[in-house]
Amino acid sequence: MRSPESPAALPAGHQAEALFSNPETWERLPLWPSTESRLLQCCAVSDETHDVKSFTFRQPDAAPAAFMPGQFITVRATVGGLPLMRCYTISSSPARPFTISITVKKVPGGILSNWLHAHLHVGATLEAFGPAGMFTPAPGQRSKLLYLSAGSGVTPLMAMTRAGHDLGLDRDIVFVHSARTPADIVFRQELIALQSRLPGLQVMQVCESKGDAPDWQGPVGRLSLELLQRLVPDFPQREVFTCGPAGYMQAAQELLLRGGHPAEHYHQESFDLGSTTAGSAEAVAESPPSSTASAAPPIEAASFSVTLAKSKKTITVSGAHMLLASLRRAGVPVPSSCGQGLCGTCKTPLLQGQVAMTHQGGIRQREIDKGLRLLCCSRPESDLVLEL
Ligand SMILES: Cc1cc2nc3c(=O)[nH]c(=O)nc-3n(C[C@H](O)[C@H](O)[C@H](O)COP(=O)(O)OP(=O)(O)OC[C@H]3O[C@@H](n4cnc5c(N)ncnc54)[C@H](O)[C@@H]3O)c2cc1C
Ligand code: FES
């Protein structure tokens, strides 16, 4: 018989990582395709901070759904007559598949995040497309991990941490979360509680300022190489997952590189505005997505015709701009969400012509082979015919 001092032998190191990182671990449940929208029923709403709420949903038939820790769903709603689509990471654990939670930060001036905070209550329904995204554990990654997050970027890393705990794994994780002030730390208490149960998990919370908590004992300031070296001296040996605002991620990536961390063990996901609104859509879609994949240089000043087969319309677009931005400017509505080649919402059949596409996992090779393209991250290279 086991004594309380000798817990069950859990898989450690590479063994634990192999179990955690194997998609088959998570895919034993019914799949919810990312192309299929379902009506989720809200069964709980909780305040995480003064401007962050978690919303928990179940499917109407209470069915479980498979997803990988780190994936997101794409929510579709009409607010003030405006049809909107937005991505939200599933913050709950895939090992608790009967419910799905998203954790939403209220963005000043943001349409859907404010609407969700104001109107989504227990019993209400919300339409969403199934889980997608590549910011997930994968076979071959290192077993020692460093999670770096800021603000609402904590959500995918929280899902990974919760999932490991629910699988009974004690993985070697250092989780460094940055927030503006102690009052802005999302999942503050839960992370501390998880740390007390998992000897392999070290949680460090860094605040830019003490705000209204003068007794805050943790580090104050922004993440720097010096701070990282002090908090996590072995960071160059760790697989790093980073999520947060663009400026934070750029700084994190730079300081990791300066500190000798190998780029091939670095993963990041951006929540920053893609094509979420007409205004921001164009601003983002005209610049190349922040993919590490090599992007073809824009074809300078070339113009091409784009024929829309269904709507029987032809417009002229510039080879320097992403198709989504050009179509929007011409008043052609195209569903979109992330604007970064991540979510797959803007997938459209290309019937004729050539584009240069630099996606970030929002489309599969077999879909590309069938002629589908993501318009938010595709520049025209010839005259085109689209099935729109
Ligand atoms: C893969 C992925 C996962 C994500 N996961 C999460 C998550 O877990 N939690 C979370 O909180 N968020 C997450 N996001 C972000 C989320 O999708 C939304 O972008 C966010 O909630 C803001 O949406 P909104 O409708 O409230 O804001 P929007 O209405 O899109 O506006 C956002 C900002 O743009 C400004 N703006 C609006 N219109 C204009 C204009 N015309 N010109 C200039 N500025 C303008 C607004 O003032 C506001 O500051 C994720 C995003 C991605 C891509
Ligand atoms: S809008 Fe997300 S892939 Fe294009």
Q: What is the pLDDT of residues 61-89, one digit of tens each?
A: 899 999 999 999 999 999 999 989 999 99
Instruction: Output the six-digit token pair for 136.
Output: 């997930």
Tell me the CA–centroid distance for residue 109 and ligand 1, in Å: 9
What's the CATH code, domain 278-386?
3.10.20.30
9 or 178: which leads in pLDDT: 178
pLDDT of residue 34: 85
Tell me the CA–centroid distance for residue 323 and ligand 2, in Å: 11
For range 46-53, the mean pLDDT: 98
pLDDT of residue 4: 41
Is any atom of ligand 1 closer than 6 Å to the C-beta of 109?
Answer: yes
Tell me the CA–centroid distance for residue 342 and ligand 2, in Å: 6
- Per domain, the residue ranges of the chain are 27-132, 135-270, 278-386
170-219 per-position pLDDT tens digit: 999 999 999 999 999 999 999 999 999 999 999 999 999 999 999 999 99
3-state SS of the chain? Answer: CCCCCCCCCCCCHHHHHHHHHCHHHHCCCCECCCCCEEEEEEEEEEEEECCEEEEEEECCCCCCCECCCCCEEEEEEEECCEEEEEEEEECCCCCCCCCEEEEEECCCCCHHHHHHHHHCCCCCEEEEEEEECCCCCCCCCCCEEEEEEEHHHHHHHHHHHHHHHHCCCCCEEEEEEEECCHHHCCCHHHHHHHHHHCCCEEEEEEECCCCCCCCCCCCECCCCHHHHHHHCCCHHHCEEEEEECHHHHHHHHHHHHHCCCCHHHEEEEECCCCCCCHHHHHHHHCCCCCCCCCCCCCCCCCEEEEEECCCCEEEEEECCCCHHHHHHHCCCCCCCCCCCCCCCCCEEEEEECCEEECCCCCCCHHHHHCCEEEHHHEEECCCEEECC
Nearest to 161 by CA among 172, 306, 98: 172
Is any atom of ligand 1 closer than 6 Å to the C-beta of 277?
Answer: yes
- The radius of gyration of the chain's CA atoms, rounded to the nearest angstrom, is 22
111-129 per-position pLDDT tens digit: 999 999 999 999 999 999 9
Tell me the CA–centroid distance for residue 8 and ligand 1, in Å: 44
297 or 130: which leads in pLDDT: 130
* Per-residue pLDDT at 96 exceeds 70: yes
Q: Are the CB atoms for 107 and 201 separated by under 8 Å?
A: no
Tell me the CA–centroid distance for residue 84 and ligand 2, in Å: 13
Confidence of residue 11 (pLDDT cuts 50, 70, 90): low
**C-alpha dihedral sign at 248, 250, 253, 259:** negative
Is any atom of ligand 1 closer than 6 Å to the C-beta of 150?
Answer: no
Best mutation site among 55, 271, 328 for ligand 1 pocket (most ligand atoms within 8 Å of CB): 271
281-332 per-position pLDDT tens digit: 322 323 333 333 334 444 456 999 999 999 999 999 999 999 999 999 999 9
pLDDT of residue 6: 41
pLDDT of residue 301: 61
Instruction: Output the six-digit token pair for 318.
Output: 């510039």
Provide the CA 21 distance to its chain's centre, in angstroms.
Answer: 17
Is any atom of ligand 1 closer than 6 Å to the C-beta of 72?
Answer: yes
Residue with tokens 């319309």: 313
Which of 1.20.1050.10, 3.40.1390.10, 3.40.50.300, 2.40.30.10 is the CATH number of 27-132? 2.40.30.10
What's the CATH code, domain 135-270?
3.40.50.80
Is any atom of ligand 1 closer than 6 Å to the C-beta of 74?
Answer: no
**Which atom of ligand 2 is closest in space to residue 341's alpha carbon?**
3
Best mutation site among 345, 360, 367 for ligand 2 pocket (most ligand atoms within 8 Å of CB): 345
Share of the chain above pLDDT 90, in %: 75
Confidence of residue 12 (pLDDT cuts 50, 70, 90): low
**Which atom of ligand 1 is closest in space to residue 279's alpha carbon?**
41
Burial-class residue 190 by CB neighbours within 10 Å (0-12, 13-18, 19+).
middle
372 or 5: which leads in pLDDT: 372
pLDDT of residue 272: 77
For range 270-284, the mean pLDDT: 45
Is any atom of ligand 1 closer than 6 Å to the C-beta of 214?
Answer: no
Confidence of residue 345 (pLDDT cuts 50, 70, 90): confident
Q: Whose CA is nearest to atom 3 of ligand 2?
A: 341
For range 339-364, the mean pLDDT: 92
* Per-residue pLDDT at 23 exceeds 80: yes
16 or 365: which leads in pLDDT: 365
